[in-house]
Amino acid sequence: MRTLIYWIILMSFLVFPTQVRAYKERNLLQGRMGTEQLKSVLKTNQSWVDYPDYQNRAGWDALTGGMKQQIIENGEKYLTFPWRVVKATDYIEYERSGSRDIMQEPFGANNTALSSLVMAELAEGKGRFIDQIINGVWLSCEMTTWVLSAHLPSYHTSRRSLAGPEEQVIDLTAGDLGSLLSWTWYYLKDEFDKVNPAVSKRLRSELQRRILDPYMERSDFWWQAFNATPQTMVNNWNPWCNFNVLSCFLLLENNPDKLAEAVYRTMVSTDKFINYNHDDGACEEGPSYWGHAAAKLYDYLQILYYATDGKLSLFEEPIIRNMGEYIGRSYIGDGWVVNFADASARGGGDKGVIFRYGKAVASQEMQQFAAYLHHRDRNKGYTDNGRDIFRTLESLRNFHEMANTPPVLPQTAFSWYPQTEFCYLRSPEGFFFAGKGGYNNESHNHNDVGSFLLYFNNKPVFIDVGVGTYTRQTFSSERYSIWTMQSNYHNLPLINGEPQKHGDRFRSKNVAFEEKKQRFSLDISGAWEPDAGVKSWIRSYTLQHGREFLIEDNFALSEARKNNSINFITHSRPDISVPGSVKLDAGGTIIQMSFDAKRFDANVETIPLDDTRLSNVWGKEIYRLTLTDKSKPLKGNYKFIVKAL
When the pLDDT of each residue in the chain is averaged and rounded to a whole number, the result is: 94
Q: What average pLDDT does the segment 606-632 reach?
A: 97
What are 271-284's pLDDT values in tens digits? 999 999 999 999 99
DSSP state of 425: E
Q: Which of 53-57, 311-315, 474-478, 617-621 has the lowest mean pLDDT?
A: 474-478
Q: Which of 113-122, 149-158, 173-182, 309-318 has the lowest mean pLDDT?
A: 149-158
Question: For residue 21, what pLDDT is reported?
Answer: 66
Q: How much of the chain exceeds pLDDT 70, in percent?
A: 96
What are 104-136's pLDDT values in tens digits? 999 999 999 999 999 999 999 999 999 999 999
All residues at 6 or more sequence positions from 227 whose CB lies less than 8 Å from its CB, including other chains: 219
Q: What average pLDDT does the segment 588-605 reach?
A: 98
Q: What average pLDDT does the segment 299-310 reach?
A: 98
Q: What average pLDDT does the segment 477-493 reach?
A: 96
Measured CA to CA, the distance from residue 552 to residue 594 in angstroms comes to 12
Report domain 414-644's class. Answer: mainly beta
Q: What average pLDDT does the segment 540-555 reach?
A: 94
Residue 186 to residues 54, 116, 585, Cα–Cα distance (Å): 10, 16, 55
Query: Is the model more confident about 161 or about 21?
Result: 161
All residues at 6 or more sequence positions from 23 whose CB lies less than 8 Å from its CB, including other chains: 228, 229, 230, 231, 232, 275, 276
- DSSP conformation letters of 375-390: HH-S--S----TT-HH
Task: Residue 96: count other Cβ atoms within 10 Å of its Cβ.
Answer: 11
Which of these, 156, 152, 155, 71, lies nearest to 115 by C-alpha position? 71
Annotated domain spans of the chain: 1-22+43-245, 277-411, 414-644
What are 17-58's pLDDT values in tens digits? 334 566 899 999 999 999 999 999 999 999 999 999 999 999
Q: Check if the beta carbon of residue 75 is closer than 8 Å to that of residue 64.
A: no
Q: Check if the beta carbon of residue 458 is closer than 8 Å to that of residue 531.
A: no
Phi, psi of 473, rounded to the nearest 5 degrees: -65, -30
Model confidence at 10: pLDDT above 50? no
The confidence band for 5, taking pLDDT boundaries of 50, 70 and 90, is: very low
Measured CA to CA, the distance from residue 180 to residue 187 in angstroms comes to 11
Which of these, 635, 634, 551, 566, lies nearest to 602 by C-alpha position? 566
List strand residue ranges (DSSP E) for 124-276, in order.
none
Model confidence at 381: pLDDT above 80? no
Q: What average pLDDT does the segment 85-102 reach?
A: 96
Q: Check if the beta carbon of residue 51 is closer than 8 Å to that of residue 63.
A: yes
Question: For residue 20, what pLDDT is reported?
Answer: 53
Question: For residue 22, what pLDDT is reported?
Answer: 66
Pairing mode of beta strands 635-644, 459-462:
unpaired
Q: How much of the chain exceeds pLDDT 90, in percent?
A: 90
Model confidence at 627: pLDDT above 60? yes
Containing 204, the helix (H) or strand (E) segment is: helix 197-207
Question: For residue 11, what pLDDT is reported?
Answer: 28
Q: Check if the beta carbon of residue 281 is closer than 8 Å to that of residue 206.
A: no
Containing 352, the helix (H) or strand (E) segment is: helix 351-360
Q: What average pLDDT does the segment 368-378 reach?
A: 91
Question: For residue 546, what pLDDT is reported?
Answer: 80
DSSP state of 575: B
Task: Residue 624: count other Cβ atoms within 10 Å of its Cβ.
Answer: 20
Residue 262 burial (10 A CB sphere; 0-12, 13-18, 19+)? buried
Phi, psi of 456, rounded to the nearest 5 degrees: -130, 125
Which of these, 108, 236, 131, lies nearest to 192 by C-alpha position? 131
All residues at 6 or more sequence positions from 306 whose CB lies less than 8 Å from its CB, including other chains: 43, 48, 49, 50
Residue 386 burial (10 A CB sphere; 0-12, 13-18, 19+)? middle
Helix ranges, 213-346 (H): 213-217, 237-252, 256-276, 287-290, 294-307, 318-329
Question: For residue 203, what pLDDT is reported?
Answer: 98
Model confidence at 12: pLDDT above 60? no
Q: What average pLDDT does the segment 176-205 reach?
A: 98
Question: For residue 378, what pLDDT is reported?
Answer: 67
Q: What average pLDDT does the segment 235-239 reach?
A: 97
Task: Residue 470: count other Cβ atoms within 10 Å of its Cβ.
Answer: 16
Q: Check if the beta carbon of residue 339 is closer than 8 Å to that of residue 453.
A: yes
DSSP state of 386: T
Q: Check if the beta carbon of residue 29 is closer than 8 Å to that of residue 271.
A: yes
Measured CA to CA, the distance from residue 533 to residue 529 in angstroms comes to 8
What are 331-360's pLDDT values in tens digits? 999 999 999 999 999 988 899 999 999 999
- The separation between the first and the last C-alpha atoms of the chain, rounded to the nearest angstrom, is 66
Q: Return the SS3 of 39.
A: helix
Cα angle 85, 86, 91 (rounded to 5 degrees) comes to 160
